[in-house]
Every structure is written in structure tokens, then in C-alpha cells.
């Protein structure tokens, strides 16, 4: 992408944030929300606040990363405990599961914003997200969240370019999603399944893999890694099988198509 084009979007993003004067950012520590948080702090200073909601669907690894990136940016940052598992509609895991999750999160963030006198709540939604199955965006819109990246015309490919330009260390970070997204629609979400998935993914990532998804089909683990790492993971098969069975899986498989975002949505 031409430099002048990306810089125009950068200036539009700064302006979109500056106009809000005071802002709360739903901060996961992923590249999208990190870019919004970085720009918000650069433009608004301490009038910008990052909030990370922690629950059973948010891994300890991601929480550690969120704290690190927030500290790197310098933005005021708070973590708030939450849980979607008390919501029966979420636990049943319908195709619009993400709607119920984001609705819970949106209400918590809105309460915090009201307590602190903050009118605007921003997220890391970008233009490319509207091309995917993202029912959670509807829940955010219902609570009047703002999407600064969308306002600036920023797509997924722009995010990494801008994140690198502004000096974020996680600019090339692999995408992260809610752990519940590893469970097929209409299979019940449980705390035990979420922990099993988190433990399995953390172990495989510790072996040096860049991108990992352990899709949980009841007692069967379907592992996705980047296509260029498929041969590599076969070399670790004995240790991976042993570890995943220790976590509670009975069967361990490797998806030969490799990692692809939203593979659970292929059934829709």
C-alpha cells in the first residue's frame, strides 16, 4: 500500500478519536484494539482509558499480553472480571453466540464509562470485520459503541501497517479470538472445555508455533496451525498427543487444511 494512502488513514483515525475528547477503549491487547488505544493515548493522553474484561473465554496468555501492551503504550489500564457462563443463551452456543457475549461485555463497559463520565466507548472493529460472521457487532452497535478504525476507512491489512508505523511491538501478532469460538455451534460451552482448550493451545504455542487453534469437538481435538508449520507439528506428535490427552481429550487430530480464521463458520 502506498505510504501517502496509509498516512491519510492514520490522520483520519487521529481526527476521529480527537473529536471524542474523552474515550474508553474495549482493550483485548490484539493488534486492532492496541492501535486504537495507542492513537487515543497519543491524542488524548489520560482522557483515554483502556479496559480489559477477563473471563473464562479470555486466556491467561492474552491477559498477560494485554497488560504488557497497555504498559508499553502508557495508557491508563484496568482489568475487570466478568463471566458469560451464567448466561444460558451463551452457554447453549447458538450461531449468534457472539451476540450474547458482546452484549454482556458492552453493558459492563457502559456501566464503567457512565461511572467515569465517559460518553464514548470504542472498540477495534475494522472494515474487514463486516465481511465475516460477526453477530457481536450488532450488540456493540445497540449500545452505541464507536468504531474509530471504520470511521477512518481502515481494513485488516491496514491495521498491521499502521501498528508498525506507530511503533507497536505487537504489530505482527497473530489474531486472537474468544476461546469459545473453538467449540462447534450448538455444543454446550463449559468451563471444563474452555480450560482444556486453553491448556492445549498454550502447550503447542510453547513449542514455537506462531498460530494455533485447538478446535474442541467434544472429546476430539482438531489442531490447526499455519500451513507452513504442518510438517513441523508432525515432528512433535508424540508429545502433543500425550499432553492433550492429559488435558482431557480422547482423540487428537491435525487439520490438513491448516489454520484459517473462522473455520467453525464453514458449517453456516
pLDDT tens-digit map of 164-185: 999 999 999 988 889 999 999 9
Mean pLDDT of 200-215: 97
Buried b (16+ CB within 10 A) or exposed e, 14-50: bebbeebebbbbbbbbbbbbbbbbbbbbbbbeeebbb
Give the pLDDT of residue 26: 98
Structural domains in the chain plus CATH codes: 3-165 (3.40.50.620), 179-267 (3.30.70.2210)
Percent of the chain at pLDDT > 90 equals 91
Give the pLDDT of residue 2: 62
pTM: 0.93
Give the pLDDT of residue 176: 83
> Are residues 32 and 161 in contact, defined by beta-carbon separation less than 8 angstroms?
no
Amino acid at each position: 500500500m502506498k505510504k501517502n494512502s496509509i498516512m491519510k488513514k492514520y490522520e483520519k483515525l487521529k481526527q476521529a478519536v480527537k473529536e471524542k475528547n474523552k474515550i474508553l477503549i474495549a482493550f483485548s491487547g490484539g493488534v486492532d484494539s492496541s492501535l486504537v488505544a495507542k492513537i487515543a493515548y497519543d491524542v488524548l493522553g489520560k482522557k483515554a482509558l483502556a479496559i480489559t474484561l477477563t473471563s473464562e473465554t479470555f486466556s491467561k496468555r492474552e491477559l498477560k499480553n494485554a497488560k504488557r501492551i497497555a504498559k508499553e503504550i502508557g495508557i491508563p489500564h484496568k482489568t475487570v472480571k466478568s463471566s458469560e457462563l451464567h448466561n444460558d443463551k451463551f452457554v447453549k452456543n447458538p450461531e449468534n453466540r457472539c451476540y450474547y457475549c458482546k452484549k454482556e461485555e458492552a453493558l459492563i463497559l457502559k456501566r464503567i464509562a457512565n461511572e467515569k463520565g465517559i460518553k464514548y466507548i470504542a472498540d477495534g472493529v475494522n472494515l474487514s470485520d463486516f465481511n465475516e460472521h460477526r453477530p457481536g457487532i450488532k450488540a456493540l452497535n445497540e449500545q452505541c459503541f464507536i468504531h474509530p478504525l471504520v470511521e477512518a476507512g481502515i481494513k485488516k491489512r491496514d491495521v498491521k501497517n499502521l501498528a508498525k508505523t506507530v511503533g507497536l511491538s505487537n504489530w505482527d501478532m497473530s489474531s486472537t479470538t474468544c476461546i469459545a469460538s473453538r467449540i462447534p455451534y450448538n455444543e454446550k460451552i463449559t468451563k471444563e472445555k474452555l480450560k482444556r482448550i486453553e491448556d492445549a493451545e498454550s502447550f503447542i504455542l510453547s513449542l514455537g508455533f506462531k498460530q494455533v487453534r485447538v478446535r474442541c469437538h467434544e472429546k476430539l481435538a482438531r489442531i490447526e496451525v499455519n500451513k507452513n508449520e504442518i510438517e513441523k507439528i508432525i515432528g512433535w506428535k508424540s508429545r502433543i498427543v500425550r499432553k492433550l490427552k492429559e488435558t482431557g481429550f480422547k482423540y487428537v487430530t491435525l487439520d490438513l487444511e491448516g489454520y484459517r480464521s473462522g473455520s467453525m463458520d464453514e458449517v453456516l
